[in-house]
Amino acid sequence: MALSLDFAGKHVFVFGGTTGINFGIAETFARHGAKVSVASRKQANVDSAVGALRALGHDMLGVVADVRNPEAVEEAVKVGRAKHGSIDVLISGAAGNFLSAANALSPNGFRVVVDIDLVGTFHVMRAAFPNLTKPGASVINISAPQSFVPMRYQAHVCAAKAGVDQITRVLALEWGADGIRVNAIAPGPIADTEGMRRLSSPNAIDKVVEAIPLKRMGTKEDIAWLAMFLASPYASYISGTIIPCDGGGAFDSVKPMIEEAGKLDAAQKAAADGTR
């Protein structure tokens, strides 16, 4: 069976596209011919990502922009359109996370995650809309299992990502008449990512794999292939969906992994407080 995914000449803009899952998405689109723009808040990450993408033989663009700053997002989109034309595929994936029990979570800590994940998604959507290809653009938000699986130590992320899912559904309704499809991907445990390092305890990986029905960690390529499918003509009647890509294990692997890590983190903090 042959499935052709050719993005030659298409402009793919990935916010948060310089590291981790989002860079994997940018890289895979580039390998399939796309003109790729990436944006993130750190110049060093932008430089590294653009260098790696240009090594594939394509003309890539990198822009420094913090999604919490609407003016910076608007400028990034403007620069991207000037370079590569209207946006055919928009990926909004900037995110922040850390472990904290709700009663230990500061108002600022809660606000930072909501500002990056949820408010940042709104800024990206709002700035991109006038610059999307109409009809035909595909918008993909990167959500998380926390949007539908309640987890201890993740009140901030659960709230923010649930909001991202609802923005996805609402914009699918509002933008459908313009021929724009809006979907979201909720990645499960993905190997070799900062999220796995930050949200799992040192000995958790074997337990995670055992709990996943498919008996393996996901890869960045797994998420990228799903993103390319959603952006392709094969998904032309799919909009307003939130698709887990987790090996069937969001409930059985992600939640226990994060809660175990959070319990360990809380115990370490309590021990440290006791020695002060």
Residue 103 counted as domain residue: yes
What pLDDT score does 269 carry?
72
Q: What predicted TM-score, i.e. pTM, was given to this entire model?
A: 0.93
**Residue 204 burial (10 A CB sphere; 0-12, 13-18, 19+):** buried
Looking at residue 244, which CATH number applies to its domain? 3.40.50.720
Domains: count for the chain: 1
* Residue 63 phi, psi dihedral angles, 5° rounding: -130, 140
Residue 4 counted as domain residue: no
Residue 67 counted as domain residue: yes
Query: Containing domain of residue 167, as a range?
Result: 11-274
* Residue 204 phi, psi dihedral angles, 5° rounding: -85, -25
Mean pLDDT of the chain: 92
What pLDDT score does 274 carry?
61
Q: What is the mean pLDDT of residues 252-272?
A: 76
Residues whose CB falls within 8 Å of the CB of residue 60, separated by 6 or more in sequence, listed in order: 30, 35, 36, 37, 38, 50, 53, 54
Residue 5 counted as domain residue: no
Residue 199 counted as domain residue: yes
Residue 1 counted as domain residue: no
Residue 119 counted as domain residue: yes
For the stretch 107-117, pLDDT in tens is: 999 999 999 99
For the stretch 44-101, pLDDT in tens is: 999 999 999 999 877 899 999 999 999 999 999 999 999 999 999 999 999 999 999 9
